[in-house]
Structure 1
Amino acid sequence: MRDVPIVLDKDLKRIAYLENAFNVKVTEQINGDYAFSMNLPRNDPKWQYIQYGNYVEIKGQYFMINYFDEERDEENKLIGTIEGKHIYFELLGEYWEEDREEFNFIPATTPQVVLNMLISGTRFTIERVDEFSVSDIRLERGDIHHNILKVIEVWCGELKRDNFNISLLHNIGQDNGIQFRYKKNIKTIKKITDGRDVVTRLYVYGKDGLTFESITGQKYIDSQYIGNYSRPKIGEVKFDDIDDPQKLLDEAQKYLAKVEVPKVSYDVNVVELSKLTGYEYEKFNLGDIITIIDEELGIDVKAEILEYTYYPFEPQRSSVVLGNFIPKLTDYFVSFQKTQNIVETAFNSETKKLSTKWLEGIIDTHNNELQAGLGTVVANDQGLLILDNKDNPTKAIALVGGMLAIANQKDANGNWIWRTFGTGDGFTADVINTGQLNTSLVRVISEENNLYIDSTGLYVTDENNNIRVRLGQYIQGKYGLEIKDATGQRTILDQDGILQTWQDSIVDNLDSSHPMQLKFYLPPETLSVRKCRLNISLESFRAYEKGAAAFGGWGVTSGPSSKSTSGAYSDILNPSWVDATSYNNDPSIGGTTGNGTITNTSGSHDHSYTFHGHNHLVKINGASVYTEYGQVNATITVTSDGDHTHTIPAHMHLIPDHTHNIEHTHQISIGSHSHDILYGIYTATKPTNVSVKLDGTVIVSDINTDQTDIDIPVNSNGWHTIEISSTTLGRINASLFIQAFMSV
């Protein structure tokens, strides 16, 4: 199993290992809180499993996911925080329904019996209960957890929680001789002494106001330390289920022993040496008794670990709180009950107004102090001066000329420094110490009247009386800070997020085949888009140069080509003497010969004549031979007898219509050269019939003029594309304005 936090589903099945979790912290108190917290990058794919109803397993213990938030830190990183309670606190949601006295008051019982009764029907088990004395207990209708606290209060045990197993022990820890020593394993140490709740005189009451006055002659008992203080420190406790005076006295003495001395605790940051090889014996747990030693502070005491905060994967960050008392959640309820009693006494439950009897009680107290001689009054012609002490006064009240002045210190010359004044116009003071101030009865305003507080919250207004800032419940179900714009109408910040704006622009050429695109992104934190407007200007196509450089080389052209002649060609030439034998192989020479005679003196010989497709009338040795056009490559041979003469009469060659086909190439050499680039701004046509698409869907079309406010109906996060096209070559200047409400 990987040693990292693990997310479990509602059925406690493992669904994700959180390898990237950090600051993993677990805090457990004796009979108190048991909780975890950690951070996880918001972009971690495992974040999807951080949901209400799921659980986190840390070192084998199950914790509920009760709370998580997301924020951007100072380094612009998105960080998630997850917090939750131990699965034991599911008992806050389990209900004890009984409100009948015969079920809720259980006499002479043990914690084993009561705990088994309480967890019956839940998925929890009572694993172990130490042996405790028999005692009475009164349960109350409500959640199971708070009734378990009543069990702890009656029998004074310590609760051990191990997932669904619950134990009640005298002590959940041990004394294994472990020491926390400065310069050994203590990094920091802080000693805390708290005497605010010390009681040295305890008034005690039982059922129906029962006291033990019949035994002691008094309704109270005094502490052995009452002489340590100038006056008794008075407290009160009630045991509504005790109806025996002696038993009431016994319980009173037990209670007094817990509250008659100051509470001392030690807040210690320690290094857990047990995580190191060879130091396993240094391991400690909640409830263990530890010896704390710091020679320089003079500390050498034994104390119990009351609270243990540990980082399972960073043991160097652990800390513990040790003390001589065990803080219980019941202490907080007792404190709350005392406050509630004071409030109920001070205010009339029907009129909701301050009870004058309660005020009279305070007045009586001050009257008693005056009658006891606590203070002195000096009177003269100017007025009255009331001092808290005649010999060494530290407080003074002056009544002079219709004014009340109050001071509690003097300057270097011994003159009173008056800080609070009261006149018929009201009170002025630099400090007012008060308890609860009910703003439903008052309205607190600033001098400039632009800030006030009433029962609904704190407000800041502008010179036009528009509410610009509001802190409180600004609308039904919405709490926190709300900030408005200058009109006082538009929200720019509230519990849901903050209003942000940004703009993207693009300028480019386009035509029917090459649209321009503007891409924009809405992050996951976008809650809503208030405005998404597109502005476009239709401009002429633009280029910035013309002409280009070139270099030398070879160029080749190729045929075929043809030339046609039309009509027959004929011509009569002057005759010439030609030896017929010289034409034996090429009688197709254009032109004619005739009226010539060739005398051959070579004796008898042959004459051959080959015809190539044209008409000749030829006489050979006096014989007339006529060749026709169709006789191609025909040969006539005549043998002569001795010397003779050839006579070629005038004749004509006819050339029919024909075509010459010419196959050829031309090779051209071009030397190295260059063309200068002409720089400038060269424009052409403007866009026409412009259309705008969002993610492939047409928003508007047939635009032929500039547009300043095209609404882009985007309603989802992520990447989006605006495509602008034109039927003609042109240029578009586009700007996109976005105003969105973002989570914070």
Structure 2
Amino acid sequence: MNPLPLGAGSVNEKQPKTQQNHAQHSGVVFLCLFLGRRKTVILLYPETETAFENNGLGALSDTVSMKVTQELNGVYDLEMQYPISGIHYSEILNRRLLFVKPDPYHDPQPFSITQITKPLSGIVTIYARHIAYKLTGIVVSPFKASSCQSALIGLKENSSTENPFDFWTDKSTSAAFEVSVPSAVWSLLGGSEGSILDVYRGEYEFDRFSVKLWNKRGRDNGVTIRYGKNLTDLQQDENISNVVTGIYPYWKGSDGTLVELPEKIVNAPGTYNFQQIAPKDFTTDFKEQPTEEQLRERAQAYVKNNDIGIPAVSISVSFQPLEQTEEYKDLALLERVNLGDTVTVEYPNLGVSATARCVKTVYDVLKDRYESIELGQLKSNIAGTIANQQQQIQDFPNSTVFQQAVDNANGWITNGQKGEMVAIQKNGKWVEIASLDTGDIATAQSVWRWNNGGFGHSNTGYNGDFINALLADGSINAAVITTGILNANVIRAGIIKSLKNPNVYFNLDTGELASNKLVSSDTNIIAIIGRDTISESNRDGFALYDGSTKLLRIGHYAASGAGIMTDRDFDIEFGRLRNFRISDGGLTVFQYTHVGGYLSIYRPTSSSSVSVLYAGDTDTTIDGPNTNNTKIVIKSNNIDFYVGGKKVAYIDSNGFH
């Protein structure tokens, strides 16, 4: 079935039918800013503009920087910096529109300005969101639909105010959709239970005033990259280290009979320098006791069908730092990737490969190229983008801890059949179901109760205490919770501790953070706490790096001392523009504006300290090694020599006296 473009209840034949066909820009000749590899134009329009067929309020040719961030089913934002001396600074206002390219391969898109910061060093930062976010202010009246196409038509037809957006889909899914109360279009698009994205699935594309719901965005253009020496990522390294390299299959009968393999383990087909095995129960896969060969075949099929041994891809590639390096040649193909495209990632060291989607791009508008892209798997929704996430992500990570928790649950539930289920009446009505270890409320100790107030377990009898409980008010009581993925707005905790390394933790009560590395989220700055692992130095302390370039280290300098070490010029700046620089040229003092200021150098003595050098506004004094006031005083017109506090000679314009 061909995809149907959807408008105000009718088919709009002018709507493009593929992701590659985009609206052609009008023939207006724009004032262009020649930057980077191609022409770049940034236009400012009034907030009411819909056609974008002229120069609007003008071209922002003096823009300092501009970046557009897109995430698959996620954010679509813009951030720019503009000088207050710019030609159109006074015309840049909230709600006005910026018309710019969102990536190297698509036509310009309108972004609505949402925030303008106060000037800093003559520059303001401007934040904007794609025009589609205006759907947050368009409310739809209640209606029902039976398919994805009719649901999108309903958003247009039932809008309570003017709706300039068209809706389109290539999906033919039939399922019931209902808007029961007046709701914003944006919230109905996706992210929450009962939304269009929840009911019909798919991936959104926002193209000017068109909302397109694709079954799947992007293409597979055969782009392949190799993970290893020239491409590494902290999250990806963690995924590799957590990958399960094999399973221990077994079957257990109700009589306790255990079937396992003589070789015990069915390994994944890769080559690994570590081993991480997970037990796998295949009891429910067979109606009768399987043979060893049947169990082996089932386990081998499970390893193949579930990508056991293949890491989940999560790679962020920043192009700018790599541009002048040898490894850039291996990654240049990624610059041809669009949002949603499929990329193959090879792991030579493991002998396996995996596919991933381009789920995020950051585009440098002025350079007309990606600043970075992110490869991974599509999330059901990104919090705060379309609505608060209410759907649990289905794919749990390959975690030994999580698998152990699952095995523990299997043991409890499959063996927890010794008690009795009891239905409890009150005033002639069934009000509760209980599971009792003895079958008698009066004598039972291990008790599960399920009623309108919640679901809970007690080890001390029918009336509690209920240490483990799921309550009707939304609260959960539990001694231990193990989960694959936890989504939350607020996490209240005492100590957050690593499962693998107990020495890494964050004590929220005391504010103590134990870590050996801090990494900036938006720059190349890295801070090493403890042993300097970047330069492989044996000295401990605090080291600051810009990428792999050392800035400074504070800590042990010798066996009995400490210091500040750097290979660069070292500046000290503090109040009133008093600045010091220590470099190969010595100690420099500059930009000293405090009236009556001075520079003093002292040396310690057994009881205090004495002056060695004093430089002020009227004179410079060099003191002798003793404390008997022997010194040389340099003034603007003469040099005086003192011994024991007595002036013994001087030099002026007439000579030595």
TM-score where L is the length of structure 1: 0.34
Larger strand proportion, structure 1 or 2?
A: 1
Q: Choose between structure 1 and 2 for higher RCO, CA contacts under 8 A separated by at least 6 residues.
A: 1
